[in-house]
Amino acid sequence: MPKTGRIQRISDYLGDRVKLNDSYKAVFDNVHGEIVLRHLMKVGHVFNPTYVPGDTHESAHREGMRRLVLSILRQLNMTEEEMRNIMEQEDA
């Protein structure tokens, strides 16, 4: 019996999420991807404070950058230990 209605929408959504997750892994699961990810983590203040005393606009800007990088890391299912290991590696 073909999927219809709500079940089809859920199935389509899950299929799209799997494709998206696979795409993230394809982009970042190689030497070049790790170099880019390390750079994003540095400029995105992943392990540094985003608050800039006296400058609410810069604080908000840095926090926005940080949140974007964290969403990439979440998509990759990265643990904090894996993130720290990437940050410790030297650029190739």
User: What's the rounded Cα separation, in Å, for the pair 5 and 1?
Assistant: 13
pLDDT of residue 2: 60
Domain ranges of the chain: 5-88
User: What's the rounded Cα separation, in Å, for the pair 61 and 79?
Assistant: 25
Q: Kindly tell me if the per-residue pLDDT of 36 is higher than 90.
A: yes
User: What's the rounded Cα separation, in Å, for the pair 87 and 39?
Assistant: 9
Q: Kindly tell me if the per-residue pLDDT of 70 is higher than 80.
A: yes
How many residues in the chain?
A: 92
Q: Kindly tell me if the per-residue pLDDT of 37 is higher than 90.
A: yes
Provide the whole-model pTM: 0.79
Residues 44, 66: contact at Cβ < 8 Å? yes
